[in-house]
Amino acid sequence: MLFDNNLGREGSQEVEFPAQVSPAKMEMQKEVVVIAVESTKKDELPEEPRKTKPTTWSGVDGRGITFLFPYSKEFQTEIIGNGGDTFSVFHQNVQYLNNSVEELQAFLADIPCDVVCITEHWMSEDQIKFAILENCNLVSHFCRDLHKHGGSAIYVSKKHNAEKLEEINKLSRLNVFECCGAEIFVNKRKVVVLCVYRPPSSDVSEFILHFENALTVSLQLSSFVFIAGDFNVNILEQSASERYFTDVLDSCSFKITITEPSRVTETSATCLDNILVPSHIFDDINCKKVMPTGYSDHFAQLVTSHTSEEIAASCTLKWKSFI
């Protein structure tokens, strides 16, 4: 070997050559060393940039439809409406909130939501306190402490005063009817929101028993009610479960707002997730959306409604005439 191959230091290095090499050749080898050192510094790769959360990203949902985030201004305008007061409820089955909280936060940054309902957060009482959504307060939740998975939670925009509804939370049943409730004060009116998760392995008749009780209690608390959740009942296919579910909704005068698939796989398209409202406010719903989010195999649902004092008063009159 004619010269030392240590080229990683700054500047040129003096290199000792064997005595038998001629002076002219030594000078040539020194030039080679200097060039090699400079070349190494020039071609040195820059440090890998720190990973940052993307402001936009794209993907393909279960139906093969390409989507891009954030949603367009036209989409946001449709959600907000053409002026006036609106109230929006968002629901998403996330299947472990801790793994998707950043993606959920980025998604919600472009969609105005008054209430965010989460099912299958998979977190304990101690853990969910640290699952923070920007500009929202965690108002109510149901957690499994001795079992994995499941759970429900309600986050409310900080612009609203909101409280946990103990009357609803105490109706929950582990592995059957995992429910939490919140009351929110909007335009001097009380809005009641429930978030419900029904495990797919639970007995449907037992679930319906607790569910019907919750529907009745919620209407006693307010005429303006939203019930969001993953009910694991496919309303797009006739079955005993679907019949039990729709019958109890009819008996309590609630309506389904989502009628397209909320979960799509290679072999199925089912509507398991929904947002339910009383019949007397159904016509005031001005936006009903199912949205792929890219971080869950369930699509999200979003419903918005007018909430002006005139409409709220109208709801009260309709409900009084109904009873």
Which whole-number Å values give the CA distances from 156 to 90, 122, 221, in the listed order?
10, 20, 18
SS3 state of residue 199: coil
Lowest-confidence region among 19-23, 186-190, 204-208, 239-243: 19-23
Containing 277, the helix (H) or strand (E) segment is: strand 273-278
Could you report the per-residue pLDDT of 80-110, keeping only the tens digit for each?
A: 544 457 899 999 999 889 888 888 998 888 8
Lowest-confidence region among 23-27, 114-118, 300-304, 318-322: 318-322
Q: Domain coordinates of the chain in residue numbers?
A: 71-322
Could you report the per-residue pLDDT of 139-154, keeping only the tens digit for each?
A: 999 999 877 899 999 9
Residue with tokens 């009910």: 231
Report the C-alpha gap between 110 and 203 in whole angstroms: 38
The fold of 71-322 is Deoxyribonuclease I; Chain A (3.60.10)
Does position 193 have pLDDT exceeding 60, yes or no? yes
User: Which residues contact residue 260 at a Cβ distance below 8 angstroms, ignoring those fewer than 6 apart?
Assistant: 271, 290
Residue with tokens 């679930």: 207
Q: Which of 4-8, 41-45, 83-87, 115-119 has the highest mean pLDDT?
A: 115-119
Which whole-number Å values give the CA distances from 169 to 210, 211, 220, 269, 288, in the listed order?
11, 12, 15, 31, 27
User: Which residues contact residue 308 at a Cβ distance below 8 angstroms, ignoring those fewer than 6 apart?
Assistant: 84, 85, 187
- Structure pTM? 0.74
Residue pair 229/117 in contact (Cβ under 8 Å)? The answer is yes
Does position 16 have pLDDT exceeding 70, yes or no? no
Q: What is the DSSP pairing of strand 86-93 with strand 115-119? A: parallel
Average pLDDT of the residues of the chain: 79
